[in-house]
Structure 1
Amino acid sequence: MKFIVLAGGSGTRLWPMSRKNFPKQFLKFSISKHDEHESFFQKTIKRICCYPDADIFIVTNEKHKFYVINQLEELANKLTNKPKIEIVIEPVSKNTAPAIALAIRYAIEKGISQDEIFFVCPSDHLIKPDEKFIEFIKASEECAKKETIVTFGIKPTRPETGYGYIKVKSQPAEFGNFYKVEKFVEKPDFDNAKRYIKEGNYYWNSGMFTFKVNTIIEDFKKYTPQLGELFEKSYDEALKEFQNLSDISIDYAIMEKTEKGMLLPLDIFWSDIGSWESLYDVLDKDPTGNAIVGDCVNIETNGSLIIGNKRFITTLGIQDMVVVETEDALLIAKKGECQKVKDIVKILSEKALPQVEEHVTVYRPWGSYTLLEKGLRYKIKRISVKPGETLSLQMHHHRSEHWVVVKGTAKVKIGDREQFVHENESVYVPKSTLHRLENPGKIPLEIIEVQVGEYVEEDDIKRVEDVYGRQDI
């Protein structure tokens, strides 16, 4: 069986921790004291690896590619089963239907049979236990062999307005525990959500699917001919056409129209962690009902979610609140109101504030950098370069740079000169001078970079050579 993992989303419902360029799937949480400190993406990959002989196709975009690679590297020694993993890069971010179609086209190019069964899932859901979930996937595989498209439904436990719903018909005898899908329903208001629970034949839409390749291609061609045409092209031609495709979900493109839809109820724990309240629900609580992450002292505080990062947090006399602190932003909200976080993100986007796009720490294929301070005509960063990695050969027209090595050994090229720089040594990089930083050692290289100039933004960079194939930013 083949698996498609969708890891290109840019959700911001968990802002300020989730950002456009560092979305929810890459956030790391220990859900309980027995849970490993892993991202939702990493948990998804580990879950799939419980399936024997799984081949995984991860769909993401260029901005998230190196998060995927780094987090896969972190997982490498934890996986008992070693699946074959391939990364499919979307030329531009679209929606789930184009992403799934592109992954299937890539798989066919790699020799996958059109009789092969695929399972598709997001990379930001929490599901447990893994072993029981795998049994549901195996059951869906057998159903998909009968030319059906299987989706997975979650029995509602409350009148949730943040989820889409699926209405089902009675169970056809030949399909056992599977229901025939009647229709997909958009996120309802509270009254309709209560009615769905009372009627009993509505399920939360989990966004997961199982199908045979030729079955889904047939429906792509029937219901969304633009996407269906991708399967008449080579993969390279599909990449060129991708930017012209409609931004459409697999629900709109196929599932709301197909006559092949079957639903398998999932009798296990599932959450898409779509809000701070839903994260609170799954975290361990102290005796007063608080879910605490980080260094906090709380007095007369009850039923609250408090997440700290660098700062020491204290609370006094609050109840049913959400407090989330990052290095550059602080969210304080009343529980029950966190679906409106998207409104905050919209306002920040309209003001073009950096807290929407990036964290203070930004990851690159060679490592990461953290903004320590920024002022008029200067910026100070801490740069970490992984062993054996190298930055691009580049230059800046508007700033000079001063590098101080605080850990490891740097190999530095400035103009025509190459040299090694050790701990507590420094070098100066003049404006408009080609330069490159490399870590030739076996431990991470850390330097403090001081930029000075009339313009110190990230787009003042001219790349001449780059081993990672990046363009100028």
Structure 2
Amino acid sequence: MEKRIIPLIMCGGAGTRLWPASREVRPKQFLPLFGTHSTFQETLLRVSDPMLFGRPVVITNAAYRFMVLEQLTEIGIEADVLLEPMRRDSGPAIAAGAVFAQARDGEAIVLALAADHVVQNKDAFTAACREGLAAAETGRIVTFGVKPERPATEYGYIDAGEPVLGDVRAVVKFVEKPNAVTAADYVNSGYLWNSGNFMFPASVLLDEYQKFDGEIVRAAADAVSKAGRDLGFITLEPQAFSAAKAISIDYAVMEKTSRAAVVPVDCGWSDVGSWRAVWELSEKDMQGNAARGIAVFEDSRNCNVSTDHALVALEGVDDLVVVATADAVLVSRQKDANGLKRLVAKLKTVAPQVTEEHLKVHRPWGSYQSVDNGDRHQVKRIVVKPGGRLSLQKHHHRAEHWIVVRGTAQVTVNDTVATVHENESIYIPMGAVHRLENPGKIMLELIEVQTGSYLGEDDIIRIEDDYQRS
């Protein structure tokens, strides 16, 4: 059997370029933008052939660990999950992943993939991986260069040189994101889009990285060797990992190494870096309008609508993006992707909460969503997975009243444990030690009414917690 590739899936980014759907606590790689699966899940499914790929390694922000676990479980894939204690960009992340893969297999060939990219032609992608594997086995660090569909200004480019093995070519140079005129020149000259995905022998990548910045490699190796385990996750040692400076793998290694090679590929690739990119990848009506959710178009062309609940109706407009969530609405021109970046930066100073969290907040046990707020009350909808339970906790400033609308709840209040069925309720006095759990086989749904002088989430004193949160 041929050498199996170890996929290294990088999914620690915040993804604010698709605000308001994508936010800090649930970024775009975990969203089902084009179907039932998220781009993270689609990336894993793309590298699930056991004849070509080995057990994947996922490296992510510690804040996303339970979303990663949940989405792995949904598609039936197991992986080693490395948790970054802080963000350090792709350079240290790939270095840590390479160290981990090499510890598993001294001759490991690693395929580093971003979790938020889309590939429409899986067969072409797999063929490119086989081409890259052959070149990587000769000691090359291979990147995947996408054949341009247009003179894009949002991507970096690769100048590909002479063939080195089959269709794989040497890299002459990497170039930064160009202006429109330069982008057209690059496309006419045969340059390729830089996809930001790589394949390499772990030992070669680390040797090259060592030449250019040995401190980062030492920090990554130290973070892996001193890593702990927490609920099945591999936690990179914080002090060691923090010593690695934040830098992309392009700047750290790829633009400096003489071992860089590129596989030209035409696989329907996109980094989904804007709402325009989402529109380009979506099905459209005869007037070029795309919709996710309920939308009605009249005398409108080339518009893109994404809505969670509200009906969106557009009349007499062209080239608009409208994204409606429960707590925010975006209206913008499709062509100005940088305008959204500026808008989100402004929002972070004016209303930071809408860039960080959704009204629906995901937790390892399920989710909760705010329904109504007042000065001294708050109403939430809480959903608990079968077998899930919240921490044993208490509050200093609020009391709670729980009404079960679906399923069965087991509720602890001080020394009493009660079973609460549908259409029944229970009262949690202020200061009482309490816990909610779902002992059943179906989702538990309830309405929580909070009353008190302070209703913030930081008024939670956890006494016991299955998920080891402070």
- TM-score over 0.5 for the alignment? yes
After TM superposition, give the deviation of residue 285 of structure 1 in Å: 0.8
- 1:363 and 1:369 in contact (8 A); partners too: yes
Aligned-pair CA distance for 1:139:
1.3
What is residue 335 of structure 1 aligned with on the other side?
334
2:265 corresponding residue in structure 1: 266
Q: Deviations over 1:249-273 (max 9, x none)?
A: 1111111111110011112211111
Answer yes or no: is the 8 Å Cα contact 1:169–1:181 preserved in 2: yes
- Residue 237 (structure 2) aligned to one of 232, 236, 239: 239
Matched position secondary structure for 1:380: strand
CA contact (8 A) 2:382 2:448 kept: yes
Match of 1:229 in 2: 218
Range with greater deviation from structure 2 (265-274 or 83-92): 83-92
Aligned to 1:149: 141
Q: For the residues of structure 2 that align with 1:396 and 1:41, how far apart are their CA atoms?
A: 36
1:66 aligns to what? 66
Q: Which residue of 2 aligns with 1:208?
A: 197
**What is the aligned partner in structure 2 of residue 313 from structure 1?**
312
| Amino acid of the structure 2 residue aligned with 1:5 | I
Q: Report the counterpart of residue 231 of structure 2 in structure 1.
A: none
Query: What does residue range 20-419 of structure 1 map to in structure 2 within 5 Å?
Result: 20-30=24-34, 36-50=35-49, 52=51, 53-76=53-76, 84-109=78-103, 112-172=104-164, 175-200=165-190, 202-230=191-219, 233=222, 235-236=225-226, 239-240=237-238, 241-419=240-418
Report if aligned partners of 1:407, 1:447 keep a CA contact under 8 Å in 2: yes
SS in 1 for 2:16: coil
CA distance in structure 2 between the partners assigned to 1:231 and 1:329 by the alignment: 39
SS at match of 1:9: coil
The superposition leaves residues 81-137 of structure 1 with CA deviations (integer Å, 9 ceiling, x where unpaired) of xx651111111122111111222333344xx22211110100111112212211211
Q: Scaled by the length of structure 2, what TM-score is found?
A: 0.93
TM superposition outliers: structure 1 runs of 4+ over 6 Å = none
Residue identity matched to 2:15 = G
Q: Which structure 1 residue ranges, 5 or more long, are not aligned?
A: 31-35, 77-82
SS in 1 for 2:96: helix
Query: Deviations 1:44-68 (Å, cap 9, x if unpaired)?
Result: 1111113525210011112111111
Does residue 452 in structure 1 map to residue 451 in structure 2? Answer: yes
CA contact (8 A) 2:219 2:243 kept: no
1:173-193 alpha-carbon deviations (Å, 9 max, x no partner): xx2312211222222222221
8 Å Cα contact 2:220/2:244 also seen in 1? no
Partners of 1:306 and 1:426 in 2: CA distance: 40
SS at match of 1:28: coil
Q: Secondary structure at the match of 2:79?
A: strand
Structure 1 stretch displaced more, 88-97 or 116-125 = 88-97
Taking the aligned partners of 1:429 and 1:189, their CA distance within structure 2 comes to 61
User: SS of the residue aligned with 2:448?
Assistant: strand
* 1:383 positional shift: 0.3
Contact 1:50 1:134 in 2 (8 A): no
Q: Give the length in aligned residue pairs.
A: 455
CA contact (8 A) 2:30 2:38 kept: yes
Equivalent AA in structure 2 for residue 187 of structure 1 = K
Q: Report the identity percentage.
A: 40
Q: What is residue 14 of structure 2 aligned with on the other side?
A: 10
Report the Cα offset of residue 11 of structure 1.
1.2
Range that drifts further, 83-92 or 131-140: 83-92
CA distance 1:365–1:231, change in 2 (3 Å): closer
Shift of 1:404: 0.8
TM-score, L = length of structure 1 = 0.93
Supply the distance in 2 between the matched residues of 1:229 and 1:339 (Cα, whole angstroms).
36
| C-alpha separation in 2, matches of 1:176 and 1:104 | 26
Amino acid at match of 2:117: H
Other structure's SS at 1:161 match: coil
CA contact (8 A) 1:114 1:212 kept: no
| C-alpha distance after superposition, 1:204-231 (max 9, x if no partner) | 1101100001101101211121222146
- One-letter amino acid of the counterpart of residue 361, structure 2: V
Q: Which amino acid aligns with 1:456?
A: L
Distance 1:407 1:74, change over 3 A: same
Q: Which moved more, 1:441-450 or 1:178-187?
A: 178-187
Stretch of structure 1 that moved more, 187-196 or 266-275: 187-196
Q: Secondary structure at the match of 2:87?
A: coil
CA contact (8 A) 1:402 1:449 kept: yes
| Structure 2: distance between partners of 1:164 and 1:9 | 19
